[in-house]
């Protein structure tokens, strides 16, 4: 038997944990729903309804809990995604903002469940870590004016174009 993951992120949903987990796992390689636990007669949920969904996104463990309407997501907690290139940024941005999601500033968005995501191209980290502080500052200034991040525009800004 595999050793359980010691630490995993728990995401609180109002009845849509399994739907969310299935949606998220469809977006990332090496992702899967690993277990669905249901409420029993002791409650507090409807017996037989989904209580907890354990899933992995790109190998990282998460737990979705159908806890009810008492709590909702805020930008204080987000899922950050290291994107290899603009193609991956575009694909994830489109999928996560569809069907009621919302675009935000600086590479942030909310999905249709209200969860905040940071969709960040790897190139941004490289530009912000540039040893030339003026180049890094130009990239930062460009990023602060964007919604979805644009690798070419960030690079051009860093280069002073």
- pLDDT tens, the chain, 161 aa long: 567 788 999 999 999 999 999 999 999 999 999 999 999 999 898 999 999 999 999 999 999 999 999 999 999 999 999 999 999 999 999 999 999 999 999 999 999 999 999 999 999 999 999 999 999 999 999 999 999 999 999 999 999 99
Which two three-digit tokens encode residue 107?
């590479």
Sign of the C-alpha dihedral, residues 115, 113, 26, 7?
A: positive
- Model pTM above 0.75: yes
**Alpha carbon 91 to chain centroid distance?**
13
The whole-angstrom separation of Cα 117 and Cα 92 is: 10
Q: Identify the DSSP state of 136.
A: H
Structural domains of the chain, with CATH: 8-71 (3.10.180.10), 73-161 (3.10.180.10)
**Residue carrying the six token digits 């860093």:** 158
């Amino acid at each position: 038997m595999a050793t359980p993951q010691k630490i995993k992120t728990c995401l609180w949903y109002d009845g849509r944990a399994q739907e969310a987990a299935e949606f998220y796992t469809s977006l990332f390689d090496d992702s899967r729903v690993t277990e669905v636990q249901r409420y029993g007669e002791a409650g507090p949920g409807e017996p037989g309804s989904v209580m907890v969904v354990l899933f992995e996104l790109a190998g990282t463990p998460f737990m979705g809990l159908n806890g009810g309407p008492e709590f909702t997501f805020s930008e204080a907690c987000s899922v950050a995604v290291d994107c290899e290139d603009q193609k991956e940024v575009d694909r994830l941005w489109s999928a996560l903002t569809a069907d009621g999601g919302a675009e935000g500033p600086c590479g942030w968005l909310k999905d249709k469940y209200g969860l905040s995501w940071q969709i960040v191209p790897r190139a941004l980290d490289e530009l912000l870590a540039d040893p030339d502080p003026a180049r890094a500052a130009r990239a930062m200034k460009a990023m602060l004016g964007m919604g979805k991040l644009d690798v070419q525009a960030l690079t051009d800004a860093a280069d002073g174009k």
